[in-house]
Amino acid sequence: MKKSLIPLLLFVALGAFLFIGLFRDPRYVPSPLIGKPAPEFSLPSLQDASYPVASKELKGQPWVLNVWGTWCAGCRQEHDVLLAIAQQRAVPIVGLNWKDDNAAAQQWLRDLGNPYSVVAEDREGQVAIDWGVYGAPETFLIGSDGTVLYKHIAPMTMEVWNTEFLPRIESSRATAGSKS
């Protein structure tokens, strides 16, 4: 009987959904910021507190915001990848040093190398809240028009950079170019 197959099909469908659910990362929370204007900030520079790092100055070009801290193991893990990406000189990489010790952060950059064009110090975590940061390392891509294009939550890899970031950077540049 065909009718008797219906419960079986429903069961298989439910099973399929649950099975897919097994392989999804519950710690991954999609950012509501994607496609919205990037939150503005102005923070002191890590190396020189009298020098402000303002997000406004970065407008008109795609840029990357990388949230890190010396207390974060994943940040240590991704550091060499960031250095390699910085060498490409594709876009400015802005560091957001999140709730960290200033001296330790500066020492980290001296010891491991500095992939950042500039590093903003977010001692209180106020800017991190505005950006919806909940687990470093997090890496945002901001387009030429100042909207958030992509967010990667986990250590950066070359594969993610090549497949998710570079194509978006290129298309952001192309649309910005055709408008002007």
Partner 1 sequence: MITRLLHACLLIGFLAVAPAVHAIDTQPAFDDPALQQRYERINRELRCLVCQNQTIADSNATLATDLRREVRELIAAGRTDDEIREFMIERYGDFVLYRPRMTATNFLLWGAPVILLAIGAIAVVRVVRRRSKEADIDTAGPEAGSS
Q: Does 149 bind partner 1 (CB under 8 A)?
A: no
Instruction: Give the shortest CB-148-to-partner 1 separation in angstroms.
Output: 12
Q: Does 130 bind partner 1 (CB under 8 A)?
A: yes
Q: Which residue in the set 35, 113, 135, 167 belongs to the binding site for partner 1 (CB under 8 A)?
A: 135
- Ramachandran sector of residue 156 (left: φ over 0; alpha: ψ -120 to 50; beta: rest): beta
Q: Does 30 bind partner 1 (CB under 8 A)?
A: yes
Ranges of H-type helices in the chain = 5-22, 73-88, 102-112, 126-130, 158-160, 166-179
In angstroms, the Cα distances linking 50 to 2, 43, 153 are 76, 10, 31
Q: Does 21 bind partner 1 (CB under 8 A)?
A: no
Question: Environment class of residue 94 by beta-carbon count within 10 Å: exposed (0-12), middle (13-18) or buried (19+)?
Answer: buried
Quote the tokens at residue 152: 């990667």
Q: Does 43 bind partner 1 (CB under 8 A)?
A: no
The count of other CB atoms within 10 Å of the CB of residue 47 is 14
Q: Does 29 bind partner 1 (CB under 8 A)?
A: yes
How big is the site for partner 1, counted in residues (CB under 8 A)? 18
Binding mask 69-108 for partner 1 (x = CB under 8 A): ------------------------------x---------
Which residue lies nearer to partner 1 by CB, 38 or 169?
38
* The amino acid at 171: S
130 vs 76: CA distance, rounded Å: 24
Which residue lies nearer to partner 1 by CB, 92 or 132?
132
Which residue lies nearer to partner 1 by CB, 91 or 128?
128
107 vs 177: CA distance, rounded Å: 39
Q: Does 132 bind partner 1 (CB under 8 A)?
A: yes
The residues of the shown chain that bind partner 1, judged by CB under 8 A, are 26-27, 29-33, 99, 124-126, 128-132, 134-135
